[in-house]
């Protein structure tokens, strides 16, 4: 079983490709949480794929790992999809697992286009394709390692824990406030997709437009990237110039 969290499809595509190579199946962590499924027993392989957020993990994945029980699974692994640097995400994950008396046999990473568009520009298709190609090569490489049940930490793009651990905590805490998100009512068509797909139900529809009803969310940017009209923006004034992105190899 391969589990994943994914807003724009990178981690979903990685999970699907690994699962296909092993004739296994995938499940979204959001579904696991909704069904209160935290216990996985007697799996030949149990893998989890997550994006990196602020050099650590999305809050929803961290909460899932705090509760997961992996019992008698022959091989377990964790894959970070990332755009630039994984920072201290492995350190953070290992710590969470230790506190939950659990352990992964291996850690891997796969580079992908960086969906944090308040900073990164995804409008150059050539650059996006180059990142996707680099990621594909890394994905094929980790699949070979997974198939031989390798143990160890194979994660790329790490930064020293001492200089990343506190800034990453602070940055994610401040950036995940929904006050940063807004809708342009002139172009929103009221389709409700943003509210329907939000992994934590932070969006409601009011008078035909989305409103952010919770003060905090995962800040996955799924609402911004998936909107058919590109009507949702992040408040630093850059996302409208940096484009929308969805992984071209999966449906999200």
Torsion angle, alpha carbons of 248, 17, 137, 108, to 10? 120
- Cα separation, 32 vs 69, whole angstroms: 12
Mask: binding to ligand SF4, 130-159, rule CB under 6 A, as x and -? ------------------------------
Which is nearer to ligand SF4, 47 or 58 (by Cβ)? 58
- Nearest approach in angstroms of CB 52 to ligand SF4 is 15
Nearer to ligand SF4, 142 or 231 (CB): 231
Q: Which residues pair with 47 in a beta bridge?
A: 2, 77
188 belongs to the binding site for ligand SF4 (CB under 6 A): yes
CA dihedral 97, 44, 144, 104 (to 10 degrees): 10
Q: Does 29 bind ligand SF4 (CB under 6 A)?
A: no
Binning the chain into helix, strand and coil, the percentages to the nearest 5 are 35, 20, 40
Rule CB under 6 A: choose which of 62, 191, 204, 252 binds ligand SF4. Answer: 191
Question: Does residue 217 belong to the site contacting ligand SF4 (CB under 6 A)?
Answer: yes
Among candidate residues 55, 67, 58, 59, the one with its CA nearest the CA of residue 99:
67
- Name the residues that contact ligand SF4, by CB under 6 A: 7, 178, 183, 188-194, 198-200, 202-203, 210, 217-223, 227-229, 231-232
């Amino acid at each position: 079983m391969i589990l994943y969290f994914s807003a724009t499809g990178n981690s979903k595509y990685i999970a699907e490709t690994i699962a296909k190579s092993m004739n296994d199946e995938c499940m979204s962590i959001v579904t696991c949480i909704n069904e209160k499924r935290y216990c996985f027993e007697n799996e030949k392989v149990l893998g989890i794929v997550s994006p990196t957020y602020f050099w650590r993990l999305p809050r929803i994945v961290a909460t899932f790992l705090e509760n997961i029980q992996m019992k008698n699974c022959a091989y377990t692994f964790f894959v970070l999809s990332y755009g630039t640097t994984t920072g201290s995400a492995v350190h953070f994950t290992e710590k969470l697992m230790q506190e939950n008396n659990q352990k992964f046999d291996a850690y891997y990473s796969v580079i992908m286009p960086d969906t944090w568009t308040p900073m990164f520009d995804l409008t150059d298709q050539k650059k996006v394709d180059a990142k996707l190609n680099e990621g594909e090569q890394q994905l094929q490489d980790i699949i070979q390692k997974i198939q031989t049940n390798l143990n160890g930490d194979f994660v790329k793009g790490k930064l020293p824990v001492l200089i990343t651990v506190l800034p990453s905590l602070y940055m994610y805490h401040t950036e995940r406030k929904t006050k940063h998100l807004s809708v342009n009512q002139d172009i929103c068509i009221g389709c409700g997709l943003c509210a329907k797909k939000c992994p934590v139900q932070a969006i409601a529809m009011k008078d035909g437009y989305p409103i952010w009803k919770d003060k905090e969310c995962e800040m996955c940017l799924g609402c911004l990237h998936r909107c058919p009209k590109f009507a949702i923006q992040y408040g630093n004034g850059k996302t409208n110039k940096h484009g929308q992105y969805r992984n071209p190899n999966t449906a999200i």
